């Protein structure tokens, strides 16, 4: 990790300040920086699940078609630089420092408070602008309407899926969450939505904005097949071939070893689809599950899904400040009827003994440590 004061300032903001929603300060700072987002065409992607995968598939397809393509996703697994890529290359530390110097100097001069996500969003815009990308595929951080990325004027909006997550911020129903994520729809700009997105609230917004709406509906055999279909339709609307839609980001049904799969499913719907796929493909194989969840997640909903599939449940006692303590997860697991003989608290991941399939799921924040533990074995 680079220990420059600018990068330490960025990371300290992530640790010390909570989430900040709203566009005003980010928009003012963007304009003060010369509106770098105006120098490339952007595709904007929101959704409860699948938005990072769909963004990656669209970006790869555009790259294969011969374009220089920026990709902005979140969260990251090992380094925040993963969030900002051009044709698969992470933003260099030198570029991070150069752009942060300008961003923070401008913010201080304008007396603007900049959150971690706002700073990284503007860092992406500045990097993409300086490197003269043709397109930038941008994933929202949370929601859509008040997300920092929503200051852009995209050529296409995509909403991949809707399920109950971040309900304390986005709303208690799928329809309410759809309205928040539908806030990325811009006047006259086409929008593509996935099969789980409630149609009426999105139709209402699209009609008001006079934005052509396409809904991707089919009987999909897997999550990745649905993500491919959404990416394919998005590319069709844009007029490009779907030549890179087989690519997947890390920790999305990623087989790190023949008996270990990593997946950042962290809400009930994502976990349900993960385990349904695994059980279909490995009907007789016992599943050992290692779980870590970040704060504000539906603990009982997630554990209720896992209860139906896991032979053994390992709760990871990870020190990250945004991870729910393993003892809290244990209490909820016992309350919903998972036998205590099947639950273990672990401070580190232990690779399986070959008699079962090990499923590591939940928050992004556990994946880096688990990757390193596996690579050492």
Helix H, strand E, coil C: the string for the chain is CCCCHHHHHHHHHHHHCCCCCCCHHHHHHHHHCCCHHHHCEEEEEECCCCHHHHHHHHHHHHHHCCCCEEEECCCCCCCHHHHEEECCEECCHHHHHHHHHHHHHHHHHCCCCCCHHHHHHHHHHHHHHHCCCCEEEEECCCCCCCCHHHHCCCCEEEECCCCCCCHHHHCCCHHHHHHHHHHHCCCCCCEEECCCCCHHHHHHHHHHHCCCEEECCCCCCCHHHHHHHHHHHHHHHHCCCCCCCCCCCCCCCEEEECCEEEECCCCHHHHHHHHHHHHHHCCCCCEEEEEECECCCCHHHHHHHHHCCCCEEEEECCCCCCECCHHHHHHHHHHCCCCHHHEEEECCCCCCCCCCEEEEEECHHHHHHHHHHHHHC
From CA 361, how far away is CA 302, in angstroms rounded?
Answer: 10
Strand partners, 84: 72
pTM here is 0.93
**Residue-by-residue pLDDT tens, the chain, 377 positions:** 567 889 888 888 764 455 677 899 999 999 999 999 999 999 999 999 999 999 999 999 999 999 999 999 999 999 999 999 999 999 999 999 999 999 999 999 999 989 999 999 999 999 999 999 999 999 999 889 999 999 999 999 999 999 876 767 777 899 999 999 999 999 999 999 999 999 999 999 999 999 999 999 888 888 899 999 999 999 999 999 999 999 999 999 999 888 999 999 999 999 999 999 999 999 989 999 999 999 888 999 999 999 999 999 999 988 888 899 999 999 999 999 999 999 999 888 877 776 789 999 999 999 998 888 887 75
In the chain, the domains with their CATH numbers are 5-238 (3.40.1190.10), 254-376 (3.90.190.20)
pLDDT of residue 16: 46
pLDDT of residue 74: 92
Give the relative orientation of helices 5-16 and 93-109 as an angle to the nearest 10 degrees: 70
């Amino acid at each position: 990790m680079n220990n420059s004061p600018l990068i330490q300032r960025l990371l300290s903001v992530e640790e010390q300040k909570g989430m900040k929603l709203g566009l005003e300060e980010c928009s003012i700072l963007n304009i003060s920086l010369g509106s770098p987002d105006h120098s490339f065409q952007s595709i904007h992607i929101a959704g409860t699940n699948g938005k990072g995968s769909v963004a990656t598939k669209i970006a790869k397809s555009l790259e294969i078609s011969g374009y220089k393509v920026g990709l902005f996703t979140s969260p990251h697994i090992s380094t925040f630089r993963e969030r900002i890529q051009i044709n698969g290359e992470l933003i260099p530390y030198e570029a991070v420092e150069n752009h942060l110097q300008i961003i923070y100097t401008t913010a201080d001069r304008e007396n603007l408070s900049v959150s971690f996500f706002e700073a990284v969003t503007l860092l992406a815009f500045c990097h993409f602008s300086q490197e003269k990308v043709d397109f930038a595929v941008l994933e929202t951080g949370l929601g859509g309407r008040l997300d920092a990325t929503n200051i852009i004027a995209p050529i296409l909006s995509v909403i991949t899926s809707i399920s109950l997550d971040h309900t304390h911020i986005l709303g208690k129903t799928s329809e309410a969450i759809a309205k928040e994520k539908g806030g990325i729809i811009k006047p006259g700009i086409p929008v593509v939505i996935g099969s789980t997105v409630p149609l009426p609230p999105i139709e209402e917004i699209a009609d008001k904005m006079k934005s052509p709406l396409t809904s991707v509906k089919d009987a999909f055999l897997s999550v990745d097949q649905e993500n491919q279909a959404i990416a394919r339709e998005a590319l069709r609307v844009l007029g490009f071939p779907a030549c890179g839609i087989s690519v997947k980001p890390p920790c999305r049904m990623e087989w790190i070893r023949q008996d270990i799969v990593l997946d950042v499913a962290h809400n009930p719907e994502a976990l349900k689809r993960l385990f349904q796929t695994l059980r279909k493909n490995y009907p007789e194989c016992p599943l050992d599950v290692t779980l870590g969840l970040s704060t504000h997640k539906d603990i009982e909903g997630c554990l209720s899904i896992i209860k139906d599939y896991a032979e053994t449940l390992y709760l990871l006692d990870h020190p990250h400040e945004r991870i729910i303590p393993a003892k809290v997860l244990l209490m909820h697991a016992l309350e919903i009827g998972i036998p205590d003989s099947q639950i273990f608290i672990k401070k580190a991941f232990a690779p399986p003994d070959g008699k079962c399939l090990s499923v590591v799921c939940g928050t992004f924040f556990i994946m880096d440590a688990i990757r390193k533990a596996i690579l050492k074995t």
